Structure 1
Amino acid sequence: MSDIRNNWTLPEIKDIYDMPMLELVYRASSLHRKYNDTAEVQVCTLLSIKTGGCSEDCAYCPQAARYNTGVDVQALMKKEDVLSYAQKAKDAGSTRFCMGAAWREVRDNRDFDRVLDMVKGVNELGMEVCCTLGMLTEYQAQRLADAGLYAYNHNLDTSKEHYSEIITTRTFNDRLETLDNVRKAGVTVCCGGIIGLGETHEDRIKMLHTLATMPEHPESVPINALVPIAGTPLGNNTKVDIWDMVRMIATARILMPKTMVRLSAGRNDMSVAEQAFCFMAGANSIFAGDKLLTTANPGFDADNAMFELLGLKPRKAFKEEKQYLSEMIEA
């Protein structure tokens, strides 16, 4: 049976997820080695280009206008400031630059035109450019693609069954519709979730099932650990255990062997040894830089030291496309 499958069943995924930890990591690591360069990690930088004041009620998010979290509302950044930040990220080793705006959905207005201009600018720097702007229509996704967008992030967050416990201002199907619009535009998909939202292990398995049974696996799957923020409904949730992160990463790697599995939010609370175990389990992407939108993240210097210690190297931008062109030329 092929390792690359889109017909996983829930019982199959549960059997993988429930494996003894060391056996699970061994199996995930073996597949990771088969399909990827295990010394290579995609380094991404995420910038909040429009912060706070969001009309959504995502129970984990400090940018929701209805919660008092101390996050100041900031208007859409200027293009030159965004490009300056992107250049600094590139100089520090990032090859993918993601711009996030605290919007419920994209609107066809001057702000969107400005974002399209930013996408063009970052693309011209030679970086893979990603956006996370909320819900998109097919037309808006195509406009982003035409501007040079490489990836669009739109996380499922949790299972369909648990979704309404976390967000009521949109539906799980709204999420899937945006992802479908992104695919139609030929933009790569970045889609994962968050653990620590009060979900069950079954919810985690169901979320992975949704991702792994898409017609095409997401090119990037971020696995986030909730960072509880005072003032949000989940502000008192307990910290996610590192082994829960390892289990999620390893299961995702087995289900989607070629996908970039990103060790995302929550990394700031992990030791180098704990992060190393996540890389061994199949993680091959991180966010670098001292902020993830509004929450703390390890700085570039700390990550560079970790990479040197573990023998890791940043993945080059547009690697898949360059390999394809090289193979075409050789043929």
Structure 2
Amino acid sequence: MDEVVDNAGDGMDSHVGAPGGTTRLRLGVAYDGAEFSGWALQPGLRTVASEVIRALELLFGEIGDFTVAGRTDAGVHATGQILHVDVPTAKWEALGDRLLWRLRGILPPDVRAVSAEAVDPSFNARFAARWRRYRYRVADAMWGVNPLRRLDTLAWQRPIDVERMHAACQSLLGEHDFVGFCKSREGATTIRELQQYDWARDEDGVAVATVRADAFCHSMVRSLVGAALAVGDGRRDEQWLASILTIGERANDVHVVGPHGLTLVEVSYSEDPKDWQARVHLTRRVRTLPGDADGPEIDRPPTPTHH
């Protein structure tokens, strides 16, 4: 819940049943990640996907394609996660506007289905997304973190200059190879378009990062935050932050901050279903930067999303 996300067709996040006579649903999901071993299904572990699938199967029986906008790591939260799932049309029509109420009674209290609608079958929660927005909260007060926010806020032991951090982070905007901030994987690109990286204090004085990109690679958001904090507390200068884009490999001196301060806030899609297929094709392209040798276009996703 950091990249273009993972899922459909890669065998890692899909949960596929018999799709005959189905309707595709778009579900909005929120969860407190503290007690989950991440989003993705993992044998013997409690995950968000396992709880959501269990609830859907109780209501619909066998479900079809189950694809999420972005898999989040253990401890990462979400208020705006999106998934799609194919369900039997007859059972969907019978439930209708009672679906959220029924899911409320089945799901555990740390995960909620907050919206549900039938969509065109061309909708793909992963590949049709235009961008994903994350929030990361950091408290640098001498006394620590508000006890009521301890599960979604990182306690930082040094005072930080938020304005300095914000200014430094603007040098990272645009399309770059973010390998310095990512855990790269063989055969997967680390080229991403960072569209927004802002720092500001909220009404309680907590430093809040807002990070938006078309997609993220593994550990990218938490690495971006860790690098900015090194600038904010004076251990590094602004030039060091920008230089990470040029090293061509994972930066060993970039600290990956803890997952609990991170929340997936929003995933954006076009409101026009006609745009979804075009976006799917664009997302699945092989990414290169200007000056790179052009390779053949293949139907392969970028690095799976983990935050």
TM range (shorter): under 0.3
- Give the number of the structure whose residues are more often helix, by fraction: 1
TM-score normalized with structure 2 length: 0.25
TM-score normalised by the chain length of structure 1: 0.23
Instruction: State the structure with more CA Rg.
Output: 2
- The structure with more strand, counted as a fraction of residues: 2
